[in-house]
Structure 1
Amino acid sequence: MIQMDARADQRQSQTLSPRLQHAVRLLQMSSLDFGIVVRDVLGRNPFLEAEEGDGEDESEGLRDGDIDSRSGEAAGEVYDGPRETDLAAPAQAEIDRSTASDSDLWLADGLTPARQGHDGDVSALDFMMEETPLNAHLHGQLGTMALSPRDLALAGVVVESLDDDGYLRTPLNELREVADVVPAATLEDLQIALKLVQSLEPAGVAARDVAECLSLQLGEIECPHVRAMARAIVNDHMDSLAARDVPTLARALDASVGEVEAVCDRIRHLDPRPGWRLSSSRVNYIVPDVIVKKDRGAWNVRLNAAVVPKVRINEVYAQLFQRHRCAENAEMGAHLQEARWTLRNVEQRFSTILDVSQAIVRRQRHFFEYGSMAMKPLGLREIADEVGIHESTVSRVTNNKYMATPTGVYELKHFFSRAMVSANGKACSGTAIRGLIQDIIEAESTDRPLSDAEITRQLARQGLTVARRTVTKYRQMLRIEAVGRRKRHDGLAVSA
């Protein structure tokens, strides 16, 4: 017989509300993605508006930072960023919001600088050069040639089949089905069209593999002897060229090692991706979130004003909504709540980034003074305990956030590494070991580069016990090639 009983079981668990989950995702975003999200909210929320300032002040803030703090000051006293009370400042201070009528509020809002506009204003986008895609560039060249409509159509089919690198990956037999010409295109017709497109600029376009792409660019080599050797290497010895096996190439071409080295160096100056010269894709440049500068012996950490969204609440709309609030305006109430939450999120995000950055600078002061060799081991928990936040929050803050220093731009995660104990018992960071490996390789002989095992032995002589596989991993992180590809002959450097 089945018996049923009821009992109370009390458990404690942590749950995240949807809004808190969204805040965590926003904190992990880069400043570029976060700015896109804020602009999206700004475009659909009537209570938010962009806060416009004097361009000269903004440029000064970009140079010196929006928030000034000494690395030794307390975190609670250094942040002077955008607070909600400042961002939500009234548009017209001379108007009393509590006594003004609806029409006065509306007219006052129309006089705010954020609402003013002129049809004759010229945007900076008007001065930007318009990009020409690769296919449009090639079609323009074809249009200047005396071609029959049939030949022009077949050449256009080839052009439209190129990928972003400028290569023709589609077999010509498949292009026959795409070409809508009468009579139907033959394989010979498409080969002629291919040769026609390959004669266009940039050189190397419409190639079907790397060897053909390089071969199409060999005409740029002026010396006939060097051009002939380069053609032989590209057509018959691509594997040896890729492996930088210069002695094998010298034996195959019956030439000296130094001569072959010079020819290989000239080949490496050719462009294996000619389509990138006219690629429509934009390069996403890194914009630092914080700027570190040394002033009067102290390292200053400042937020980059260019990445802080300048938004505020439109007090006119907020006042009008509060006066006429009713049950039918629940959606507008949600918009006002979202606007206030957005401002709090902006403030909390950049305040946390600044606090974490200050703690990093205080811990890694020797790195800023003496370089990567002075980097100390640092864990997320150390920064979390100092700032007073959770370790996972530090991990999210340092993700996709960058710091501009006098020696370069680094991701915040660059300053964290586990401790490696040396022979004398002192802790050493992985970043310092990578810097030492780079110095050892830069000082190696040009004709006898060091292997990873030899680098390991040199580190051991300096009191650092590092496994060979760790040296290999650090060398790959530094994007330094293996010993065989670093070898040089007769003092001639091989271009990467």
Structure 2
Amino acid sequence: MHTRQQTSLTPRLQQSVKLLQMSTLDFTREVAEAIANNPFLEEPEETTNSNVTGDHEGSTVDSGPAIPNDVSLEKDYVDSDAPGDSALPETEYIAYSAADAPAYSGDYPTARNSDQPDSDIGQWARSASSLRDSLLADLCSYQLSERERFLTEYIIEALDDDGYLRVPFADLADESELSPPIAAGEWEIALRLVQQLSTPGLAARDLAECLTLQLNALPDGTPGKGIATRIVAEALDRLGRCDYSGLAKTLSCPEEDIQQACMLIRTLAPRPGGRFKSVDPACYVIPDVVVRKIGRLWVATSNDDATPKARLNSAYTQLFRQARYSERSLMAQALQEARWLMRSLEQRSSTIHRVAQAIVARQQTFFDYGEIALRPLMLSEIADELGMHESTISRATSNKYLASPRGIFEFKRFFSRELATQSGGTCSAVAVRALIQEMIDDEDPMEPLSDVVLARKLAKEGVVVARRTVSKYRAQIKCPPAELRRRPVHP
């Protein structure tokens, strides 16, 4: 018989770990679900500045603690000069009541229910038009027979997200739906009609047809249009390999004209339907922390408005205290879960804020100068400073974002491996990518910098990296190689 030790997590610790690694949106849904299912939990009532009276007579609205002289990572900081701290009460903010408003107010929202938040973005948001909606709207301007409209609508519905028709005509509709059966010529006519709608290049069956439709839509005097059309039709594979000399021999044209035509082709859209793609609401992020500059230091402040809040329901808690011991068994577990959730909310908020402040304290130069000044940082450094495990820091930085004057960044963006320099110091991989981007932005379009030249220029800056590393970093910033960046010389 063998004995062994095994580490197991208590239900409370499992809940804390689960909540810590959630994004703000997932965390908000989790808390809302807990409030809906647990009678001992409720959302705290929001009070305005004008209502903070009564029980606390003579008290004033606290706009945040004062900023101490010595900045400590264990305390919260707020910007006392931030806009909104001295806002007028709501009664002074609204110019007139709903009864005084005119019968029609145009497109501007004037009144809302009292149980809605102060600003409802749904009153201002507009719905994005999809590819199919746009094409069907354009189709309304054509006088078509019922059969012709049936065919064109089938083609529109069959387009993929890139705007291509990748379904054969025979699979678009059942032949029994129309009488007489649909001929191939009818499908071709309907396809040509769809290709004339909206953006050129839509409803193409392959890349060559897509580019050809866009070239045909250009004015006749466009430089390089004729050769570009021949390249797309006869030698599109050579264009993908940037074989300019081979294209010149195949088409019997000067290489300068080939380069001009290739540059024209690169201005076309290989996925014309992409501009109609709707934005997934799940891709929106809510910053967990706001970074502001206080004096000479950048300080992280928790975004309390984005953090869901919950409190114990006083009525049910009082009923639990007055109930007999024999009647408490059903409510005891719910009350315990409610208290666990309350503690998890506080622990999660405190952990994220401490991790954020530790990151900001080590990346002060980033917020002053940008990515080129981002210093190397490892999870173990933050873990050692805060006395936490590395896995806890990893969970606290996953799907967490901070808002700063430079934009919104994920916590993990500030962690980057270090690269050695000739002076014996270190720099981050993010800073090297920023240097490469600056060099490419400042290069001569007629003579773009190759990866070898970029590596040499980095070495002069004191950063020694191999050519293949430069190629990898250049690909990460989505910059094409030098051959594709070269601008053709016009005769």
Tell me the TM-score normalized by structure 2.
0.77
Give a deviation string over 1:109-167, Cα, whole Å, max 9, x none: xxxxxxx9569x99542443234433344334444433222222222222221222222
Q: Report what 1:201 is aligned to.
A: 198
Pair 386,234 (structure 1): closer, same or farther in 2 beyond 3 Å: same
CA distance in 2: counterparts of 1:357 and 1:74, whole angstroms: 13
- In the alignment, which residue of structure 1 is the partner of 2:422? 423
Residue 69 of structure 1: CA displacement?
6.9
Question: What is the aligned partner in structure 1 of residue 349 from structure 2?
Answer: 350
Please show how residues 327-476 of structure 1 align to structure 2 within 5 Å.
Answer: 330=329, 332-476=331-475
Look up the match of 1:74: 72
Amino acid at match of 1:386: E
After superposition, the Cα gap between the structure-2 partners of 1:356 and 1:228, relative to the gap in structure 1 and judged at 3 Å, is same
The structure-2 alpha-carbon separation of the partners of 1:238 and 1:23, relative to structure 1 and needing over 3 Å to count, comes to farther
| Partner residue of 1:17 out of 10, 27, 36 | 10
The answer on 1:155 being equivalent to 2:148 is no
Distance 1:200 1:294, change over 3 A: same
The separation in 2 between residues aligned to 1:180 and 1:346, in whole angstroms, is 59
Q: C-alpha deviations, 1:5-42, integer Å up to 9, x for none?
A: xx5x5433311234433432332222222223223333
Structure 1 residue 272 corresponds to structure 2 residue 270 = yes
| Pairing 1:187–2:181 present | no
Counterparts of 2:392 and 2:178, CA distance in 1:
62
After TM superposition, the structure 1 stretch with the greater mean CA deviation from structure 2, 172-181 or 32-41, is 172-181
Deviation at 1:433, TM superposition (A): 2.6
| Alignment partner of 1:168 is 2:165 | yes
Deviation, 1:425, is: 2.4
1:68–1:78: 8 Å Cα contact kept in structure 2? no
Q: Is the 8 A contact 1:66 1:305 kept in 2?
A: no
Local SS of the residue matching 2:413: helix
Asked whether the equivalents of residues 377 and 417 of structure 2 are also in contact (C-alpha less than 8 Å), the reply is yes
Q: TM-score, normalised by structure 1?
A: 0.76
Deviation, structure 1 residue 416: 2.0
Structure 1 residues 377-422: Cα deviation after superposition (integer angstroms, max 9, x where no partner): 2221111111121111111112222222333332222222333333
- Contact 2:175 2:181 (C-alpha < 8 Å) held by counterparts: no
- Taking a change above 3 Å as real, the CA distance of residues 71 and 383 of structure 1, as seen in their structure-2 partners, is farther
Q: Which residue type is aligned with residue 221 of structure 1?
A: L
CA distance in 2, matches of 1:391, 1:374: 25
Q: Report the equivalent of 2:109.
A: none
Percentage of matched positions with identical amino acids: 41
* C-alpha RMSD over aligned residues: 3.6
Which residue of 32, 43, 48 maps to 1:39?
Answer: 32
Question: Who is 2:92 aligned against?
Answer: none
CA offset digits 1:281-326 (Å, max 9, x no partner): 4352343322222222122211223421133333233323443466
Which stretch has the larger CA shift, 139-148 or 28-37?
A: 139-148
Secondary structure at 1:302's aligned position in 2? strand
Amino acid at match of 2:379: L
Deviations 1:317-371 (A, max 9, x none): 3323443466567554443333332332222122111111111122222333343
Q: What code does the residue aligned with 2:26 have?
A: D
Shift of 1:56: 9.3
Q: Distance in 2 between matches of 1:213 and 1:288?
A: 40
| Deviation for aligned residue 1:194 | 1.9
Change (3 A) 1:71 1:448: farther
Q: Aligned equivalents of 1:432 and 1:322: distance in 2?
A: 60
Alpha-carbon separation, structure 2, partners of 1:297 and 1:122: 34
Q: After superposition, give the CA deviation of every residue in 1:62-118 in whole Å (9 maximum; x if it has no partner).
A: xxx9899779533333279xxxxxxxxxxxxxxxxxxxxxxxxxxxxxxxxxxx956
User: How far apart, in 2, do the equivalents of 1:54 and 1:491 lie?
Assistant: 68
Amino acid in the other structure paired with 1:151: E
CA distance in 1 between counterparts of 2:362 and 2:337 reads 37
CA distance in structure 1 between the aligned counterparts of 2:232 and 2:47, rounded to whole angstroms = 58
> Could you tell me which residue of structure 2 aligns to residue 99 of structure 1?
none
Supply the AA of the counterpart residue of 1:43: A
Paired residue for 1:3? none
Q: What is the distance in 2 between the residues matched to 1:392 and 1:224?
A: 62
Q: SS of the residue aligned with 1:350?
A: helix
Letter in 1 for 2:276: L
Contact 1:290 1:402 in 2 (8 A): yes
Q: Distance in 2 between matches of 1:252 and 1:66?
A: 73
Q: Secondary structure at the match of 1:76?
A: coil
Alpha carbons of structure 1 residues 51 and 131: separation in structure 2 relative to 1, 3 Å: farther
Equivalenced residues, count: 442
Find the residue that maps to 1:438 and give its secondary structure: helix
Contact 1:422 1:464 in 2 (8 A): yes
CA distance in 1, matches of 2:214, 2:314: 63
For residue 190 of structure 1, what is the amino acid of its counterpart? W
CA 1:346–1:256 in structure 2 vs 1: closer, same or farther (change >3 Å)?
farther
> What's the offset of the Cα at 1:54?
6.1
- Describe the SS at the equivalent of 2:177: coil
Task: Work out whether residues 355 and 393 of structure 2, in 8 Å CA contact, stay in contact via their aligned partners in 1.
Answer: yes
Superposition map of 1:208-357 within 5 A: 208-218=205-215, 220-226=217-223, 227-243=225-241, 264-282=262-280, 284-324=283-323, 330=329, 332-357=331-356
Distance in 2 between residues matched to 1:39 and 1:253, nearest whole Å: 66
Choose the corresponding residue for 1:49, options 39, 42, 53: 42
SS at match of 1:222: coil
Which structure is higher in RCO with an 8 Å CA cutoff and minimum separation 6?
Answer: 1
Deviations 1:250-269 (CA, angstroms, capped at 9, x unpaired)? 66666676666565555444
